[in-house]
Structure formats: structure tokens, C-alpha cells
Amino acid sequence: MSTVVQLRQGRRAQPRPARLALLGTGTVGSAFVERYARLAAQGVALPDVAWLCNSRTQVGGGDDLHAALAQARAAARRRAGFPPWAEGESPKPGDIIVDATASETVADWHPEWLTRGVHVVTANKLGTGGDLGRALSIGDARALGGRYGDSATVGAGLPLLRSLRALIDGGDRIHAIEGVLSGSLAWLFSHHDGSKPFSALVRQASAAGYTEPDPRVDLSGEDVRRKLLILARAAGIALPAHEVVVESLVPDVLARAADADVDQALAALDDTLEARRAEAAANGERLCFVGRFDAGGARVGLRALPVGHPLCAGNGTDNRVAIHSDRYSAQPLVIQGPGAGAEVTAAALLDDVLAITHAQV
């Protein structure tokens, strides 16, 4: 009799299997599906993908994720109404939302989901890298039950936020963080040696998929500002977005250009950036696009750094971040690695998914 009771109790104790909803079927969302399918084929235990959603539709995941992805991507544009993922079946406590969008609307839902015990894994920088009120709400909500996986928001999955939080939990005090936080801008300035115009490098980076479809998004410094805000807030500094001073690389003529004229207008970058490169080289320095915060404030922009500076190491799309703290006062802790590409971002998202599912076992 006692054995029967124990078996029944064991059955009741089994948690409902977590379901996963993927929001966003663009470049990152598609790479997520590819990596999910590859890991599943290798026998990695993953939560079932219950829904794939975008701004146009919501479809069930099913056994053929590639077919579901194609269906979602081919859906007709909607003109009104609630987003499909808000109209469909609501996620329940223990489910996992993967936000592979860049949507302010989706980011606004992060605190709501977390409060309800729904886990959120995100590459969307607007959650903690946008409005300060939203970031603080996410911080409060993540203490209530739902877990927040944000490794993909800055550093493309490098152990950056995890290391920063571990330092703080260990009693360390952060004095400054500075970094080359954009993989596309890292690539551009590591290749800007005077052998070809900067505009030609922008076209090359765009063709390789390093930049956004409109390269002005990268050149404006807005992406770096959001990542700097994420780092500052993870370090316990409630930094408002408007207090970050941003030096955009986009001249007025390029900023005003119609979408169809952007490629031709890129030439407006060349003379100014070549002059700055030549001046830096003459002084034994190298141009890097850097975000930094310290006691004096927060700033994003182009800096000429000595070639021996920690942020001048590496090449290609590498992100490089230097953390200055009580523990690392004489020499900063430097974290470096690939910082651009849908594949590394998708890998970071799935790493956070797996960390959450393992914690639930």
C-alpha cells in the first residue's frame, strides 16, 4: 500500500513539461531554429517549440520546425489588431519565451511574463538596454519567479554579464567598464588602414552580413549605447538612456538620405574618417569605436587608443570589454571573443534555454 501511495505522489510531483515560444522569425530566429534542430538531432533534451510567432502570425511548432518557420515567414502583413502572440494561447508558469526580435512592444511584456513565472530568454536589447523604468521593472520581476536569460543581448553570448554579476555578488566594486561592443564597427575599424575608402568597407561588411540592412543603424552608435546601458545596469548603476553621450559617425547628408540613396551617400564618410585614421596612425594610435562608463559619466564614440591598449587587441568582429574594479585595479579584466553573427547569437539563446531547463529538473 505504501508503495502505491509513493508512486501516486511521485506522479503528482512531476512538473508539466516546459513549452517554448519563439518570437521573431528573422535572421536570428531562423538561426535559432537551425541550431535547435541540430541539437535535437544530436539527442540534446530541449523543451518542445509550441509556437513560432512574428508580427504577422502565430503558428504551432509541431514536428517540422522548418516548415513552421517557412509558414510564419510567408504570412501576409497584418494592418491592425493585437500582435498574434498576444492573441493566442498564453504561456503558463514554467514556459519559456525566446525573444529574437528588436521590438519595443515585445520588450514591454518581459516584466509581465516574468511576474507570471514565465521565463524569458532574449536577444532583444530594448528590455534592459532601453527605457530605465522597463529595465527596473524587469529587475524586480525576475526576483518573483521567472528567470531572465540575457546573455545574447551584449557580447553575443560571451561570458560577460555572467562574469560581471559574479564579481558584484562576490563583493567587488565596479569603477568603469569600457568596450568595443559592436562586432560590425570592430570589423570596420580593424580593416580601415587607408588602403580603401571607409565607404567601401561598409559595403563589404554589409555584404558579409555584419551590419544591419541599413548600415546607418550601426554607424549611429545606438546599438553600442544600448549595450553600454545593459552593462551599467547589470553593474547596479541605474543609468538613464539620455545620460549617455553618443557621437554618431553618420554625417547629415547620409542621415537625410532616402533608403534608396544610402549606398551612394556612404561616400560622405570617407574624408573625415580617413583624416582621423591618418592622425591616429601618425601618433602610434588606432581608431576604435568604444562605449565607456565611469564616475564621470557615460560616452559612446570613436577614440584613438595606443596600440598597446587592451581594446586594440583582437581582430575581425571580436568584442572586447575591459572591467575596472577593486579586484582588477592595476590591470582590468578583459573579455574578448566573436561579437557578431546570427549563429553565435542563436547559440547564446539556446545556452540560456538549456540553463533554465536544467535548473527546473
Catalytic residue among 92, 125, 196, 227: 227
Show the beta-strand stretches assigned E in the chain. 19-23, 48-53, 58-60, 96-99, 119-122, 148-149, 174-180, 244-246, 285-294, 297-306, 318-325, 333-338
User: What is the distance between the alpha carbons of residues 55 and 78, in angstroms, rounded to a whole number?
Assistant: 8
Cα–Cα distance between 116 and 232 in angstroms, integer?
27
Cell reading at 71: 509558414
Residue 227 among the catalytic residues:
yes
- DSSP conformational letter for 53: E
Three-class secondary structure of residue 9 per DSSP: helix
What values do phi and psi take at 225, rounded to 5?
A: -60, -45
CB 39 within 8 A of CB 346: no
Three cell numbers written together for 281 = 596612425
Are residues 109 and 119 in contact, defined by beta-carbon separation less than 8 angstroms? Answer: no
One-letter amino acid of 75: A
- Residue 310 cell numbers, joined: 587592451
CA distance 299 to 329: 21
- Report d(CA 215, CA 200) in Å as an integer: 12
Q: Are the C-beta atoms of 159 and 129 separated by less than 8 Å? A: no
Q: Which three cell numbers stand for residue 33?
A: 531554429
**What is 226-260 written as a DSSP string?**
HHHHHHHHHTT----GGGEEE-----HHHHHS-GG
H or E segment and range at residue 345: helix 342-360
Q: Dihedrals φ, ψ of 235, to 5°?
A: -85, 0
Residues with active-site annotation? 227
